[in-house]
Amino acid sequence: MVVPTPKTLFVVPLVLATTLLGAGQDLTLPETWAAGDKEAALIAWGHTIAMQGNGLPGNTACAECHRINGGGMPSVGIPRIAGQTETYIYREIRGVQKGTRYSPYMDGIVQNLSRKDIRSVALYYSTVRTPKLHDPAEFDPSLRELGRRIARRGLWDRNIPACILCHGQNGRGIPPNFPYIAGQSKSYLMGQLLSFAIVKRKDDPEGLMRGIASKLTNREIKAVAQYFASLEPPVYGKIPEKNRPDRLRLIPDKETPNR
């Protein structure tokens, strides 16, 4: 007998729905899209993957964890992806595929995604908007000042620059190379900082985050994670005109969609 916890109440109907919807449907991308509809077609295909997977073994719906509108699940540290740029989401999924981005949950799921699938789903989630979800993590008021200080001033005596130098004013990101971190959950941010610190996650350009995270104490990680978790995420992270990906070195370099 399954006790209907809030999680199963949510997941079970979703799995049922996706199974029913997916049955008998042709899940491949039609070849006959007109050139002008290419982006719309990619978004539509990305939406399909997000809702039910691409139909290949192992590939489940992104929405099962990242939610339909990409708000993530703050309680278990699954990140918001809504409004991250297409370039960034693409890069991270590729990173998981290649093993440079540590994610024991995702690495099984994304192996059967083609480059086109990844591009589609990245494009889809970059256009999705969703408000910040409730973060049930405990916030320690005694760490508030420390978190704010690390975020806005840095700890330069240990060569730790202010987070906002690269992650933008109020953590809004400097797209596409530096993602927004404002409004991510405390557990996600702490998880990533720890993952960088022990060099499980190694997809950061120049090893910048590995270097910085390994210099932070656990207390500082907690403080800075809760600071950014307390901020509002940007609504839609467009790539500013000046930061066109063809002007910047991107990671992974050549295969990143040039748009």
Partner 1 sequence: MTPRRLVLLLLPLIAGFLFDPLPTGASGNKNFQFFAPPAEGTLPNGPLGRLIRQGELIFIHTGQYAPRYVGNDLTCESCHLDRGIKPYSAPLWGAYGTYPRYRSKNHQVNTLEERIQGCFRFSLNGTPPPVDGKTMKALIAYAFWISRGAPVGLYLKGQGIVRMSKPTSPPSPDRGKAIFEGRCSLCHGLDGQGTQSDNGQVAFPPVWGPRSFNKGAGFYNVRELAGFLKMNMPLSKGKSLSDQQAWDVAAYIHSQPRPEDPRKAGKGT
List residues near partner 1 by CB under 8 A: 149, 153-154, 156-157, 159-161, 165-166, 168-169, 172-175, 177, 205-208, 211-212, 234, 237-238, 240-243, 246-249, 251
Sign of CA dihedral 253, 86, 190, 101: negative
CB-CB contact of 181 with 167 (8 Å): yes
Alpha carbon distance 242, 101 (integer Å)? 27
**Closest to partner 1 by CB, 19 or 169:** 169
**Closest to partner 1 by CB, 138 or 253:** 253
CB-CB contact of 138 with 190 (8 Å): no
| Beta carbon of residue 151, minimum distance to partner 1 (angstroms, whole number) | 14
| Beta carbon of residue 190, minimum distance to partner 1 (angstroms, whole number) | 19
**Closest to partner 1 by CB, 5 or 249:** 249
| Beta carbon of residue 111, minimum distance to partner 1 (angstroms, whole number) | 28
| Beta carbon of residue 251, minimum distance to partner 1 (angstroms, whole number) | 8
Q: Which residue has the tokens 């939610």?
A: 67
Alpha carbon distance 225, 194 (integer Å)? 11
**Closest to partner 1 by CB, 13 or 207:** 207
Q: Which two tokens stand for residue 241?
A: 């005109």
* 130 Cβ contact partners less than 8 Å away, ≥ 6 residues apart: 67, 69, 70, 71, 80, 82
Alpha carbon distance 181, 200 (integer Å)? 19
| Beta carbon of residue 150, minimum distance to partner 1 (angstroms, whole number) | 12
**Closest to partner 1 by CB, 174 or 193:** 174
